[in-house]
Amino acid sequence: MKAISRLLLSVLLMTFLTPSYAARIKDIASVKGVRSNQLVGYGLVVGLPGTGEKSSKFTEQAFATMLRNFGINIPAGETLKIKNVAPVAITAELKPFTKRGQKIDITVSAIGEAKSLRGGELLQTFLKGVDGNVYALAQGSLVVGGLGAEGADGSKVVINTPTVGRISNGAIVEREVKSPFSQGDTITFNLHQSDFTTAKRMADTINNLVGPDTATLLDATSVQVLAPRDISQRVSYLSTLENLQFEPARGSAKIIVNSRTGTIVIGQDVKLLPTAITHGGVSVTISENKAVSQPNALAGGNTEVVDNSMINVTQENARMFNFNTGVSLNELVRAVNEVGLAPGDLMAILEALKQAGALQGELIII
């Protein structure tokens, strides 16, 4: 206990002495084996005001199966009218260390022709994991943020998504997922973003606090740390380690371009080699007007409406920019903004710079 107290005191001292740009281990890494698990299920939502399924064989089959479980048999060949019933898919995330009897949130989504799940009630549904075992039971009233309305002439208005709802604490956990957290003599931190320098700095921070050879580098992602076997001590030990702060390495020079939205994100380490850039364009505007052709009173012919097209071509002023070695991309962006070019023009310039080998950084277009 004294050792742990000294360790906590050291952490507090490091917290006050650490620069504000430092990051905690818990913010940039996760513990191996401590993870969430996805659950999924298929069920029925009832009580809909005529916005449910129109006609579906698998919905009728599911509804008939539910009724048979309650001792109600549907005559052969009977067609069910289930406009207030909708088949749905239920998804949930089972957090690590969630215990039996605890409740988790669920999301309910229509998978048929249902127009809205507003006002519906989810019947008891099994939620299974990837191994096929049942881990939770879901049931409850849906909260739907969307709204839809349709007129007799076919016109309709849809706000948000009325076919997806959510139930807070809508599932009860019935089976726990075993975690390897308490096994072995070590725990492993996995970085969210792989980086050799960041992994080394994290290992050095742990070794400087706890002792040499406590943390071992496995690769650019994983750092293995010696840990006590006693589960109570291990929890306290991990609580101390995950709050250690250090300065992560700066990422590699990257430029992310979203061609659909025009969003451009430029890393601070992107540089330009000596470059001269010129960019200009031609704008063509075509306008269509209608004109009336009226013949003379003594001339033959009919009055007609004819098209009158106006074509205007504008040549933009193209300015040349000259950049020296090591100029940051921020200066290029500032120069482009002064001219008033659009994001699409900047994308074209960036692609040309990459092709010319004058851009020191990775250009990623999504």
Examine the domain organization and report whether 46 and 103 are in the same domain.
yes
Examine the domain organization and report whether 233 and 124 are in the same domain.
no
Last residue of a domain, one of 225, 246, 267: 246
> Residue 294 corresponds to which tokens in the numbers above?
């009226």
Q: Is 200 helix (H, G, I), strand (E, B) or coil?
A: helix
> Residue 191 corresponds to which tokens in the numbers above?
């970085």
Examine the domain organization and report whether 274 and 360 are in the same domain.
yes
Range of the domain at 284: 254-365
Among 91-105, 187-201, 213-227, 282-296, which is the least confidently predicted range?
282-296
Examine the domain organization and report whether 108 and 219 are in the same domain.
no
Examine the domain organization and report whether 10 and 44 are in the same domain.
no
Say how far apart CA 216 and CA 207 lie, in whole Å.
9
Examine the domain organization and report whether 73 and 150 are in the same domain.
yes
Last residue of a domain, one of 144, 173, 202: 173
Q: Which residue has the higher pLDDT, 7 or 296?
A: 296
Examine the domain organization and report whether 206 and 259 are in the same domain.
no
Each residue's pLDDT tens digit, 281-319 = 544 454 556 666 666 666 666 667 665 655 554 555 555
How many domains, the chain? Answer: 3
Say how far apart CA 266 and CA 258 lie, in whole Å.
12
Examine the domain organization and report whether 57 and 166 are in the same domain.
yes
CATH no. for residue 197? 3.30.1360
Residue 297 backbone phi and psi in degrees, to 5: -65, -35
The neighbour count for residue 141, using CB atoms within 10 Å, is 13
Last residue of a domain, one of 173, 202, 236: 173
Look at residues 171, 2, 197 and name the one whose alpha carbon lies nearest to residue 93.
Answer: 171
- 51: Cβ–Cβ under 8 A, 6 or more apart, which residues? 83, 84, 86, 114, 115, 116, 117, 118, 148, 162
pTM, two decimal places: 0.66
Examine the domain organization and report whether 333 and 278 are in the same domain.
yes
Examine the domain organization and report whether 203 and 152 are in the same domain.
no
The neighbour count for residue 1, using CB atoms within 10 Å, is 7
Q: How many residues does the chain have?
A: 366
Contact status, residue 96 vs residue 177, Cβ threshold 8 Å: yes
Examine the domain organization and report whether 54 and 160 are in the same domain.
yes
Mean pLDDT estimate for the chain: 77
Each residue's pLDDT tens digit, 134-184 = 999 999 999 988 655 555 545 556 667 888 999 999 999 999 988 888 888
